[in-house]
Every structure is written in C-alpha cells, then in structure tokens.
A and B are shown apart, each in its own frame.
Chain A
Amino acid sequence: MAILVDRGTRLLVQGITGREGAFHTARMLEYGTQVVGGVTPGKGGSTVEGVPVFDTVQEARAATGANASIIFVPAGFAADAALEAIEAGLELVVIITEGIPVQDMLQVVARARQRGTRLIGPNCPGLISPGEALVGILPGRVFTPGPVGLVSRSGTLTYEVVHLLSQAGIGQSTCVGVGGDPIVGTRFVDVLARFEEDPATRAVVLIGEIGGTDEEEAAAFIRERVTKPVVAFISGRTAPPGKRMGHAGAIISGRLGTPQSKVEALRAAHVPVADSIDEIVRLVGERLGRPTVASRA
C-alpha cells in the first residue's frame, strides 16, 4: 500500500524526447514504473527507450490508458503542458520543471483544483512508493519499502534523510517532494491527509523550510486531524531575512516565513522538530516503538 502512485500507475512523460525526459524515463522504467507513453509535439510516431511517443496528451491517453503524467518541459512551455494534461483528464500531474513564472502557476493550480486533478510541483523531485513506482527524478536505490511516509519541500534533503532512515532499517511507504516554489499544486496538508488514511503509513516525516506558511498550516491540520506520529525538520533556520535561498519559495519576507514561527507552531501541535538530520532518524525510531539499527550499534 502507498499513496498517490503505485503499481497501477500508468505514466506519460511530457517532454520525453528531451535530455532530462529521456534520461529519467530510462531510470523510471528500470525501477519498474509503468511508463506507457511519451508526448513531444512534432515527434509523434517515434519511440524513446521503447516507449511510444505521441504529439498530444489526448492522443497518448486514448492509446495507452494513462492516468498520470510527469512533465520535463522547459519553463516557458511547462504551464501549457500542465494545462494540456489537466484538460485531457489525467488524475495525477507531476511538474519537475524549475523556473515557471508564478502567474502561470496561479492559473494552472486554479484549473487543477476545478478539474479535480492532483497536481504535484513544480520545481520538485517527484514522488516514489518504494518497491512499487517511481514518478520523478529521485534516486530509487536509496529508498526501501516500509512504514514511514515522507513529505518535503526539498529534494536532496529528502534523499539524505531517507538514506539514513534506510540505513537504520526504517523503510518508507511513499515519499513526496512537493517542490520549492512559492506556488505549488500539492501542499503539506494535502499529503498529510493521504498519509493519515493510508494503512501502510505508521509515522510521517515532514521536511519544511523557511518561506510561506505551509508548515504552520500543516501544524494546525496535524493538531486537529492527524492521529499518526509526525516528526519535523525545518531547514534554513539560520538564514537571514530577505535573501532567497536557492528555492524561489525559500525567503523570509516581512514577518512571514520565519523558522521560529514554524518551529513553534509544530511544537504546539506536539510535533517534535529535529535539530539535526541524525536526530530525525532517532525520533522516528522512537515513535515506531523500535530500536533502530543505528541506536543499537
């Protein structure tokens, strides 16, 4: 069991003939994901890694029965690609592309909501249900199946934490990278709600960062609606205000987005906030009620 993606996911890759699209198609296939088609306007009829390529999402969906799409299209065209996937009726659309204008995303997010499409990203690493499906650019081999759900605004930090969890013998149900932009399709609360319902998930790790108020909203949601244990980490706790730390969304602007507010809100919701990466693993192990390999050693 897992959330959002599993063995039944039938995936289209938009931008499959590009360098990134082709590279990650190979890796997703290798992981066992059902990549059933690709879309690149003007390249219909060709194949990439044995996957048939179509000119439009609509055509690809009709021919393959796809229910999800992942987008590797350059920033200037990515919003159009996402809207195409939404209008074609796909259930899940994951945007990997970084650098999409915010006002484009406001329209895409609003449309996805109207149509009931689950949109993830942009500027995200995608998601993985270990042992079932990889829909993204995450390095599959660091993940192991198990009881921990993870949701994060950062890619590499996710890999880092998962690497340590896996080394400690703690596997993952699903790991979702929601993306580092100010406007993203799926936020912490959306993923927390799914983990709460998922019988395979017994504890949740939330990796937030400075900027915005998603962590505060997550804290309020956890307090009211989440019964499973949650452990949090906030990066950028020492970043100065007004400086954009790589991610477009990671900026303390005015009085919003400070780490203090996030840490306080989470602690008030009885969510422990780890001070270091190592501490995350210890806290999760404790909440699962079993000693980890690391703490036994």
Chain B
Amino acid sequence: MRLTEAQSKAVFRDAGLPVPDGEVVSSPEAAQAAAARLGTRVAVKVQIPIGGRGKAGGIKLADTPEQAAEAARALLGARIRGYLVHQVLVERASSVASEYYLSVTVDRARQMPVLIFSTAGGMDIEDVAEKTPERIAKLWVDPSLGLRDFHLRWLLQQGGAPADLSREFARFVRTLWELFGRYDAQLVEINPLAQTADGRLVALDGKIEIDDNALFRHADLAAMRSVEADHPLERQAREQGLAYVKLEGDIGIIGNGAGLVMATLDAVQREGGRPANFLDIGGGARAEVVERALRVVPGDPDVKAVLLNVFGGITRCDEVARGLLQAIAALGGTSVPVVVRLTGTREQEGRALLGEAGVRGVSSAATFEEAARRAVDLARSHGNG
C-alpha cells in the first residue's frame, strides 16, 4: 500500500522531521483559503499514490491565492497517470539551494534492507543509477545488527554529503531507518531532500510504501488506504477476498495459482487477444469462491468473453464446475460466452457436470492453447455482434 505524499509527510512530521507547511484540500475554494493562510507562493500538488507527478502535469506553482484556486480547479477531477484526482496538497513553496536523495528499501537480491543516499536529488533515482552511478551511495544493513553510527559515517562520506550538515543528515537517516522498521515499510523515500536557502534540510516530497502483508499490525495505516484511488472493480474484488487486477483488454481471465493465471494472460496475448483482468482463485478453491469470481469478472463492461483455466491439484475440478453453474443459476444465464478448461483432479466429474447442465454460452476446451484461442475468437465475434 502506497501512502500519498501528504500522508507520508504527516508521518515524517510526527517523527520530528521538517516538512513544508501545507494543507490537503478537495475544492478550489479551500485551496484559495489555504494559500491565503500560508501567505506565500505555494505549490499545488495532486495527491495520488504514484511517482512522476511533476512530469505528468500534476504539480503547479501559484503566486496568489486566486492562482492557487485556479490550479486546484484544473487538477481536481482530472485523471493523472490513470488516477482520478480527489485531493491536492497546497504547500508553502521553498527556495532551494541544493537537492539530495535519501531512502531505505528492501534489496531483494541481497535480501537485506539498503540505505541509499545521493547528491543528485530531485531526479528519477533509476536514471541517476544508470547515468552517474558514482553519485549514489548504498549501504546494506544486517537486520540483526541494526543501524550503527559507523553506518551513518560510511554512507554520508561515500555519498559526498556536505560535512557542515552531517549532523542533520544523520538525523534524517536515523529517522527514516526507524520508520522503515516501525511501519513495516518496503520503501521510505525523500526525494528531494532539500537544503533551503537558509541552510536547513526539509523533506520536499515523501513516499512511503507499506508491506500489504503487514497491515494486520498497522490498523491506523490500513485506514489511510485511499479507496477512491483504486479501480472500483479492484475494490469490489478485494472486499470479496479475490486476488484481482484490472487490465485493459476484453477477455476476462480466471484461474488457480498466480503463475498459471499469468501464463494464461500470456497465452491469450499470443493468440492476439487482450486480457481484461488477472484473477487468481487460489489453491483448493471451493465452489463459492469460483461463484464470486464469475460474478465479478463478467461485471466488467469491457469483458466480451471469459476464460476459466484450472489445473486441479488440490483444487477439485468438480468444485470449480459447481461454482460456475451456481454463478450462472444466480445470474439467470451468462451475459458473455465462457470458455472452461479443466484438467487434473476430478476433471472427468467436472466436465460431466458441465455436460449434463448443458448451459448456453459455456463451452469446454481440452488444452491451454485451445482455450486461449477459443476465448480470443469468441471475444472477437461477441464484440462485433
């Protein structure tokens, strides 16, 4: 789960790190009032849980409260990089002398937390890593050792942090490290970490990503999930306990096991089709789960055909067939054609159930490739018809 900039900055502020004064608002009038209260030049920034907002036109500067209102009017309700903008942050604009980069994240390859510092702040850190790797300092911290003083000295010296600010930098690094652990973060990032004209360090932007698997011990953070930012279908599926991801095509995909579902998406694309979603019913799914999946996926207006691809290991094919029939009975038929491919545990029983029921719009395929091809054909003819 990604916190927005304003949420991240609230966490920083609570931890004692300086951030610019600002207010989150959701109307032009409130933006104008906030800018008037701040009484300076302000930045109006869209609050969506994704980076690259500046490049996408999501950040505007305003010299007067009227300009702030105008900026908010242009941004609120706009769609930026796929996210609908509900809120903007109106924030005191800072005069910046230099910009740094600081983060703590998990290095998957080394299986350790890593601190990253760079004097090339305000840029995409991956660009910096590619073009000027010498400007990035990295320090891996053994979790059983924790962050030690010498770690700080190494990181800041290697990264070329100005010596007169080393005490301030050390405070930022320590606090970020502590927040990383306390909030089960995958990433805590300040970019840019600015040195202002009067020589202080301020977090001008902030990004915190929380490990979804750890939300059970952070009820306060879970409540911050901005439901508006999600796709409504994804929200609906999550509420029903389904692993669903909305994609941009027209063939609904349901399968068991993440790897199998991904391979099904690939097979559909290879046959020239475009998947509308990813949906994993998981291992050992009962009929009810299958039924829920078959209510969510065809509920997407983009979907022209559904492909249900199941390999029965622990999952029983007869349970899957039963779930499919229950969904169709409950919905009074199927609005789009469904292709079913059942292999493995109890496949004969599963196919027999479907055969006996003989539901209109439901057909079986024997292999992975055949199922993908059939779904693509059906989506095409259904789309045209």
Contact = CB atoms under 8 A, between A and B. Distances in A.
A116 interface: no
Interface stretch (A3-11, A30-38, A54-62, A271-279): A271-279
A213 B109 CA distance: 7
A209 B259 contact: yes
Given A155-B257, A276-B270, 8 more contacts: A75-B216, A156-B283, A235-B266, A236-B262, A237-B266, A238-B265, A239-B265, A277-B263
Interface stretch (B9-17, B207-215, B294-302, B355-363): B207-215
A75 B112 CA distance: 20
B211 A103 contact: yes
B262 A110 contact: no
B108 A183 contact: yes
28 contacts: A102-B106, A102-B214, A103-B181, A106-B106, A110-B112, A137-B313, A138-B313, A142-B313, A142-B344, A154-B262, A155-B257, A156-B283, A159-B311, A160-B260, A160-B368, A163-B344, A209-B262, A212-B109, A213-B108, A236-B265, A239-B262, A244-B245, A246-B245, A246-B258, A255-B126, A275-B270, A278-B367, A278-B369
A243 interface: yes
A285 interface: no
Interface in A197-256: 207, 209-210, 212-213, 217, 233, 235-240, 243-250, 254-255
Given A75-B213, A212-B108, A276-B267, A250 B262 contact: yes
B213 A102 contact: yes
Contact of A154 (B106, B144, B248, B257): B257
B313 A276 contact: no
B259 to A, nearest CB: 2
Instruction: Say what secondary structure dominates the interface of chain A.
Output: loop
B263 A235 contact: yes
A99 interface: yes
B108 A236 contact: no
A154 B266 CA distance: 15
B284 to A, nearest CB: 8
A255 B126 CA distance: 8
A293 interface: no
Contacts of B257: 154-157, 246
A101 B184 contact: yes
B345 interface: yes
A109 interface: yes
A182 interface: yes
A132 B255 CA distance: 30
A246 B368 contact: no
Q: Which of A100, A106, A107, A212 has the most B CB atoms < 10 Å from its CB?
A: A106
Interface of B: 106, 108-109, 111-113, 126, 130, 142-144, 181, 184, 186, 211-214, 216-217, 243, 245, 247-248, 255-263, 265-267, 269-270, 275, 278, 280, 283, 311-314, 343-345, 367-369
Contacts of B280: 246
A100 to B, nearest CB: 6
Nearest to B142: A110
A121 interface: no
Contact of A110 (B143, B247, B270): B143
Contact of B184 (A103, A154, A249): A103
Contacts of A236: 262-263, 265-266
A7 B258 CA distance: 31
Nearest to B144: A110
B52 to A, nearest CB: 11
Nearest to A183: B111
Contacts of B256: 156
Nearest to A184: B111
B245 A180 contact: no
